[in-house]
Amino acid sequence: MITGSLCTSKEGSGAPVKPPTATTLLLSQQSEQLHLSHKRCRPPPYLHIQILVINLISDELPERIHVHTRLATCFQPRNPKMAPIPPIIIATIQSSIISGISNVLAQFIAAQREQKSFIIDWVPVVQFIMFSIVTTPPNFMWQELLEASFPSYHIEPTKEAIASAAAGNEKELDREAKEGRLVEPKLNKRNTVIKAVLDQTVGAALNTLLFSMFMHGVRAGMAHRDAAGYGEPAKGLDFLKSGSGAFQYDAVDWASVWAKSRAEFFGILKASWTFWPFVSVLNFAVLKTVEARNLTGSLAGLGWGVYMRRIERCGS
């Protein structure tokens, strides 16, 4: 702990001993907790935020530097071999699984409406999974960029902490810190609106175009499926197992793919505006992490995937 260095004078200086204040002791306590959490590399929730607020009302500059040095080192993994799976990979796996489920669900609904026996056609299922694998990483980074540029929440001292600091009530500040009532997150409405608008204009436009280009391109590359004798849904898995011949890149007419994508672009974009803006506002206003937002978006994509499957069926 750092309390001892604050309570003793420098040797030979003759300066009187400075008794520790409640703020000083609180800084020491928080620093020691942070030091202990360094061994586990999992700091207690809001510990670094509490230290930040204490620093704002404290005049012990060396202690601030000491605490922040420990805070910085806390996030260095003790064993690099046991590093966790990157969130972007987890998000990609989640989105891919949910996309596959949504396509199977869409096929089931279509079979019920057409009063046909339900047989999974694995070709469109794999196509949607591939689309998620391709598009989830850039979308994840897009969400990270939005959050870094326009944070949804900012940290503010609570009214109680401000009142205690203004009154110089060290004991009350100490109690509020122990109870986690020094600071609280506040929603930044301006940033939330900006992110929602950017997400539903720039992000939605790019995703819509990418979806159309990808699906039309994949369908064109697999257009020989019927001629190869794999047209029945039950033979979809056999078609995929046929090797590199399942997708023929040379058969794709990219000019035609671009023309079809342009033709349906505004129709899909307008349809997305009846659904995704609500998901976007919910994500930015309520959820605080990109990982949680991605999972929520993927779950919402179950219903959207059913709609996109209908679009894909109409296009084919």
pLDDT of residue 183: 76
3-state SS track over the chain: CCHHHHHCCCCCCCCCCCCCCHHHHHHHHHHHHHHHHHHHCCCCCCHHHHHHHHHHCCCCHHHHHHHHHHHHHHCCCCCHHHCCCCHHHHHHHHHHHHHHHHHHHHHHHHHHHCCCCCCCCHHHHHHHHHHHHHHHHHHHHHHHHHHHHCCCEEEEECHHHHHHHHHCCHHHHHHHHHCCCCEEEEECHHHHHHHHHHHHHHHHHHHHHHHHHHHHHHHHHCHHHCCCCCCCHHHHHHHHCCHHHHCCHHHCCHHHHHHHHHHHHHHHHHHHCCCHHHHHHHHHHHCCCHHHHHHHHHHHHHHHHHHHHHHHHHHC
Q: What is the pTM of this model?
A: 0.66
Residue 168: burial class (beta carbons within 10 Å; 0-12, 13-18, 19+): exposed
Does residue 243 carry a pLDDT above 90? no
125-175 tens-digit pLDDT: 999 999 999 999 999 999 999 999 999 887 878 877 777 777 777 777 777
Q: Kindly state the average pLDDT of the residues 299-309.
A: 77
Q: Is the pLDDT of residue 98 over 80?
A: yes
**pLDDT for residue 305 is more than 50:** yes
pLDDT for 66 beyond 50: no
Q: What pLDDT sits at residue 54?
A: 44
Q: What residues does each domain of the chain span?
A: 1-84+156-185, 85-152+188-315
Tell which wins on pLDDT, 93 or 185: 93
